[in-house]
Amino acid sequence: MRVLVTGAAGFIGYHTCEALIQRGYEVIGLDNLNEYYDPTLKVARLDRLVKNGNRFKFIKVDLADRGAMESVFASEKPKRVINLAAQAGVRYAALNPHVYIESNITGFLHVLEGCRRHEIEHLVFASTSSVYGLNAALPFREDQIADHPLNLYAATKRANELMAHSYSHLYGFSVTGLRFFTVYGPWGRPDMSLFLFTRNILAGDPIEVFNNGKHARDFTYIDDVVEGIVRTLEVLPTANPEWDKAAPRPDTSSAPYRVYNIGNNRQVELMHFIHCIEKTVGKQARKVFLPLQPGDVTSTFADNSRIASAIDFRPATAIEVGVARFVEWYRAYYGV
């Protein structure tokens, strides 16, 4: 089966493409290779993917380019689509809001239109735990209201969920949204805490610890996330016959639409996370404690029972194991 993967040169996109290829899929990977972070890391990921020969084809394209996206769908004729391309980053959104609308809203619209016009069987798209925003009822469940985002990035991803539902309702194709919880692991993004902390500790530079270290996150290892993505792709959601318009649940519908959390179902305190890095690296971090940053949430914690029921899988990689694997990759890749 031919699968179109957007954001193929990104962290999650790269790992997803590798997993699909290993399982026998033919993958068409899209990316615009923007400079939000060092493009050489994206190119290095792509170099590994293109070694798979005719099992992987890369097309450089910006999702916001309507004509180019229509051309891709028309020429490549995928059967299913995984949309992982997005402008990420919570703090960056305050400085560059227009980029988020162009990529995450306009770009996603072009993906939806491609699915509609070319009879795609199943669209799986990335959402985020950030949509829960001001919600303080832990663990986060998909049937909770998620309409109070704290930053523009979260608002665009919540908009994606609503846009996807409308297309699923109107045109009848299956759609699944996945709310990722703090994904980490080898080949991770340089703007994320694990990468920043590891780099600075190894270099002897201080690390910035926001909210005075009182954060807690549901860190989810990349291999677990990818397993969830691929298994989800293979299970097409159908209309829920028990869905009640008088008491509507936001995670399911009378349309073939679902939303699931993908988290590790455990909270890790930020200071323990840093301790895991220090132990693996073999050096103590010099910490600079700072206040909570605008747009940040203090805690995330996923209830993953719904996706476990749907695809018979629960993420289970311990933080100590995942951090060690990242540090091993970092040392090898950068020759540290």
Close Cβ partners of 315 (under 8 Å, ≥ 6 residues apart): 220, 221, 224, 225, 227, 228, 262, 263, 264, 265, 304
Quick one: how far is CA 319 from the chain centroid? 18
Distance in angstroms (rounded) separating the CA atoms of residues 130 and 151:
8
Quick one: how far is CA 272 from the chain centroid? 23
Q: Please list the alpha-helical segments (H only) found in the chain.
A: 11-22, 39-50, 66-76, 92-95, 97-100, 107-117, 152-171, 193-203, 222-233, 270-281, 305-311, 319-334
Distances in whole angstroms, Cα of residue 192 to Cα of each of 2, 20, 180, 304: 31, 25, 14, 23
Handedness of CA 321, 322, 325, 326 (dihedral sign): negative
Instruction: Give the residue numbers marked as catalytic.
Output: 153
* CB-CB neighbours of 327 under 10 Å: 22
- Give the SS3 label for residue 183: strand
Structure tokens at 225: 């996330």
Q: Which residue has the tokens 């899929």?
A: 25
**Is-contact 223 317, C-beta < 8 A?**
yes
Burial of 230 from C-beta contacts in 10 A (0-12 / 13-18 / 19+)? buried
Phi, psi of 91 (to 5 degrees): -75, -30
Quick one: how far is CA 67 from the chain centroid? 26
